[in-house]
């Protein structure tokens, strides 16, 4: 059955593995994926734990629908205490690793301790082995996967691994699987490196039996047909997320040269059509109905002849607008290098853009800059800094610490120019004209975040009746520049995305970029047919609320306060200089933002400092945590 996968506890210090069942009570409260990760982190990490110490727990989890015929059931979650923020560490990735983990008999692996020498885990049909990885240390993220498949004698082995950035404990090193997929945010690759864990290799042939096979296949075929018939799926299947750039840049919702402008002129070579010169077709994750990633071979430049996949909209900003460059080839080259080294694309681009602005303003020590030419648009400097960050050389060593650590080393006068929340850099988006999106990045449990609560459809000027149908609340404003009703939209999306991450399905095939994609109503039916678990849509959204509240409790326990639910000061002090008339001259009003934050807390049932009340904890069944049921 879909519920009979197990949890493995691996102690790398002792060299032991213990396998347990997952209590049905926890399934009903958290489902899987991000939900179970929140529970396991809160129950297995003590307050004040060093994120790069052996007592930090690293959790790998498949979603409850991963590996099933549910549309885009490909996602898995990797979580720990973050070395980047010191708070919740949590990252989600697609590909084929999550389904393979379930076929190998496991939904969750909790990794504690630290191996004396490099190791990898071999997970296969109910067993977990700790094996030596000295021969893999120093390999890039693609070489590691290839060598493990050769070593294990099976081309179908799926691998989650780190590159040299994780080995060097760069605080925003990521975990990689396949050519493109990454658990990119919050530094989970650094946690793996701190444990001397190079990789987790999985292969399984155990079946996942559906509760109602005939009913499930019939309904899921309908759902796939519905998704594929949408204009949104057609666009994603042709351009991937690159199509977003044309809209945000022409409007003036994109940050350029770090945060100096909100629009980039003469950027035709960053638009989605520029990818026509390189693309060979589209690829997809397990069970995907959209195929949103380009396949390409670089025909020229530093990585001539290398195969790659992507890039995402994030890379257009990280290696385009944020560093003042307009070259799709430059984006592909930089994207290739961060993937090989195992770095968070978004964090790298943001930190380099920050360094370029600091250099422009004379705030970088000359001895750190050396012979680096940090003028805007210099892609040679971008490539060199990516390599220096991964290997912790010179200025790269400073930037490898992430926003908090780098500001500490460079001085408080540099803080104003760094665009981060809770120590995690923001996407290359500019939320000054969009209060709902500004509230979303301020309140996310893992830091500045476009993937945990963003009401992206607020930008579409949907009629109030349509908004009421989606959000279940009347009177919501269709003006994305307004403040009224936006906290409810953020909370609703927060709950939906937590649910989606717990199920292990792709956010692109939920109400994220399209208002017509599946939401809790559809997922309730899918869960009943696939797993046999009965939930109402309201109960599923409450599970999403429970997950985000437990993540909030984790952060509070680590010292987070209301002051952490804030925006970079530039959002309040610098109006947008460019863009369409609707967005030009906009900044976030401090008093109205604080009022939104109060309303956001009220909807959650939290006090004015952002602490869940006793009544809220009791309602969500969190009043006794940590319960340590598993």
Domain membership of residue 220 (yes or no) is: no
Domain membership of residue 544 (yes or no) is: yes
Query: Is residue 440 domain-shared with residue 391, that is, in the same domain?
Result: no
Phi, psi of 517 (to 5 degrees): -85, 170
Cα Rg, the chain, nearest whole Å: 23
Query: Is residue 392 domain-shared with residue 448, that is, in the same domain?
Result: no
Query: Is residue 58 domain-shared with residue 119, that is, in the same domain?
Result: yes
CB 527, CB 535: distance < 8 Å: yes
Q: How far apart are CA 96 and CA 62, in angstroms?
A: 11
Query: Is residue 457 domain-shared with residue 382, that is, in the same domain?
Result: no
% the chain with pLDDT above 90: 98
CA quadruple 295, 301, 306, 311: dihedral positive or negative?
negative
Query: Is residue 419 domain-shared with residue 534, that is, in the same domain?
Result: no
Could you tell me which of 157, 35, 27, 46 has the C-alpha nearest to residue 90?
35
Work out the average pLDDT over 91-106.
98
% the chain with pLDDT above 70: 100
Domain membership of residue 24 (yes or no) is: yes
Residue range 496-531, pLDDT digits in tens = 999 999 999 999 999 999 999 999 999 999 999 999
Domain of residue 25, CATH code: 3.60.9.10
Compute CA 252 distance to the chain's CA centroid, rounded to the nearest angstrom.
24
Work out the average pLDDT over 525-539.
98
Domain membership of residue 104 (yes or no) is: yes
Domain count, the chain: 3
Range of the domain at 336: 254-425
In the listed set 391, 425, 459, which residue is the last one of a domain according to the structure? 425
Work out the average pLDDT over 238-251.
96
**Which residue shows structure tokens 């989605």?**
272
Q: Which helix (H) or strand (E) holds 193?
A: helix 188-194
Query: Is residue 443 domain-shared with residue 421, that is, in the same domain?
Result: no
Q: How many CA atoms lie within 13 A of 213 on its CB side?
A: 4
Mean pLDDT for the chain overall: 97
Work out the average pLDDT over 278-305.
93
Pairing of strands 119-124, 197-203: parallel
Domain membership of residue 443 (yes or no) is: yes
Domain membership of residue 227 (yes or no) is: no
Q: How far apart are CA 431 and CA 436, in angstroms?
A: 8
Query: Is residue 262 domain-shared with residue 403, that is, in the same domain?
Result: yes
Domain membership of residue 430 (yes or no) is: no
Domain membership of residue 237 (yes or no) is: no
Torsion (CA) 359, 362, 365, 369 in degrees, nearest 10: 30
Query: Is residue 192 domain-shared with residue 262, that is, in the same domain?
Result: no
CA distances (Å), origin 591, targets 486, 587, 594: 15, 12, 5
Domain of residue 394, CATH code: 1.10.569.10
CA quadruple 333, 339, 340, 344: dihedral positive or negative?
positive
pLDDT score, position 1:
62
Q: Is residue 8 helix, strand or coil?
A: strand
Q: Is residue 46 helix, strand or coil?
A: coil
Query: Is residue 189 domain-shared with residue 57, that is, in the same domain?
Result: yes
- Confidence label for 103 from pLDDT (cuts 50, 70 and 90): very high
Q: What is the pTM of this model?
A: 0.97
Query: Is residue 560 domain-shared with residue 613, that is, in the same domain?
Result: yes
CA distances (Å), origin 614, targets 29, 367, 556: 18, 53, 15
State the DSSP code for 456.
Answer: G
Cβ atoms < 10 Å from Cβ of 51: 24
Domain of residue 472, CATH code: 1.10.599.10
Q: Is the pLDDT of residue 40 over 80?
A: yes
Query: Is residue 326 domain-shared with residue 454, that is, in the same domain?
Result: no
The token duo for 241 is 């997320």
Residue range 176-196, pLDDT digits in tens = 999 999 999 999 999 999 999
Query: Is residue 302 domain-shared with residue 350, that is, in the same domain?
Result: yes
Q: How many CA atoms lie within 13 A of 94 on its CB side?
A: 21
């Amino acid at each position: 059955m879909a519920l009979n996968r197990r949890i493995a506890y691996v102690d790398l210090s002792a060299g032991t593995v213990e396998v347990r069942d997952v209590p049905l009570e926890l399934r009903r409260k958290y489902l899987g994926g991000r939900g179970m990760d929140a529970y396991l982190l809160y129950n297995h990490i003590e307050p004040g734990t060093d994120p790069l110490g052996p007592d930090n727990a690293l959790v790998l989890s498949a979603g409850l629908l991963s590996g099933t015929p549910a549309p885009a059931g490909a996602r898995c979650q990797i979580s720990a205490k973050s070395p980047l923020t010191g708070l919740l560490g949590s990252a989600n990735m697609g590909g084929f690793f999550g389904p393979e983990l379930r076929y190998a008999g496991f939904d969750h692996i909790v990794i504690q301790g630290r191996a004396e020498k490099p190791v990898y885990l071999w997970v296969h049909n109910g067993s977990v082995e700790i094996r030596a990885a000295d021969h893999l240390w120093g390999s890039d993220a693609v070489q590691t996967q290839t060598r493990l498949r050769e070593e294990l004698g099976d081309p179908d082995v799926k691998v989650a691994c780190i590159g040299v950035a994780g080995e060097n404990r760069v605080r925003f090193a990521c975990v990689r699987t396949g050519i493109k997929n990454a658990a990119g945010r919050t530094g989970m690759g650094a946690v793996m490196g701190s444990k001397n864990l190079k990789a987790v290799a999985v292969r399984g042939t155990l079946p996942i039996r559906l509760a109602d096979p005939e009913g499930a296949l019939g309904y899921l075929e309908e759902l796939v047909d519905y998704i594929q018939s949408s204009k949104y799926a057609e666009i994603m299947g042709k351009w991937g997320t690159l199509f977003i750039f044309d809209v945000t840049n022409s409007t003036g919702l994109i940050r350029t040269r770090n945060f100096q402008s909100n629009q980039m002129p003469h950027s035709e070579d960053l638009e989605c059509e520029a990818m026509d010169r390189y693309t060979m077709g589209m690829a997809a994750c397990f069970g995907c109905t959209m195929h949103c990633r380009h396949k390409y071979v670089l025909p020229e430049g530093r990585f001539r002849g290398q195969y790659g996949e992507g890039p995402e909209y994030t890379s257009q900003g990280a290696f385009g607008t944020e560093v003042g460059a307009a070259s799709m080839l430059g984006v592909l080259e930089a994207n290739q290098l961060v993937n090989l080294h195992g770095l968070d694309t978004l964090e790298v681009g943001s930190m380099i853009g920050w360094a370029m602005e600091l250099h422009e303003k004379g705030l970088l020590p000359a001895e750190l800059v050396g012979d680096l030419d940090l003028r805007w648009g210099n892609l040679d400097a971008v490539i060199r800094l990516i390599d220096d960050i991964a290997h912790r050389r010179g200025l790269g060593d400073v930037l490898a610490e992430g926003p908090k650590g780098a500001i500490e080393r460079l001085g408080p006068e540099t803080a104003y120019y760094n665009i981060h929340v809770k120590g995690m850099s923001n996407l290359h988006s500019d939320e000054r004209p969009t209060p709902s999106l500004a509230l979303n990045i301020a309140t996310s449990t893992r830091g500045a975040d476009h993937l945990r609560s963003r009401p992206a459809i607020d930008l579409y000027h949907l009629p109030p009746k349509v908004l009421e149908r989606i959000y279940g609340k009347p009177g919501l404003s269709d003006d994305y520049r307004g403040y009224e009703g936006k906290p409810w939209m953020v909370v609703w999306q927060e709950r939906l995305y937590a649910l989606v991450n717990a199920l292990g399905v792709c956010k692109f095939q939920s109400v994220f970029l399209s208002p017509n994609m599946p939401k809790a109503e559809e997922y309730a039916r899918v869960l009943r047919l696939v797993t046999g678990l009965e939930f109402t849509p309201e109960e599923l959204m409450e599970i999403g609320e429970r997950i985000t509240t437990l993540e909030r409790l984790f952060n509070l326990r680590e010292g987070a306060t209301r002051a952490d639910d804030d925006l970079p000061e530039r959002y309040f002090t610098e109006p947008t200089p460019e863009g369409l008339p609707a967005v030009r001259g906009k900044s976030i009003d401090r008093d109205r933002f604080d009022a939104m934050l109060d309303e956001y807390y009220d909807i959650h049932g939290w006090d004015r400092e952002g602490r869940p009340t006793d009544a809220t904890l009791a309602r969500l069944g969190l009043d006794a945590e940590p319960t340590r049921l598993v």
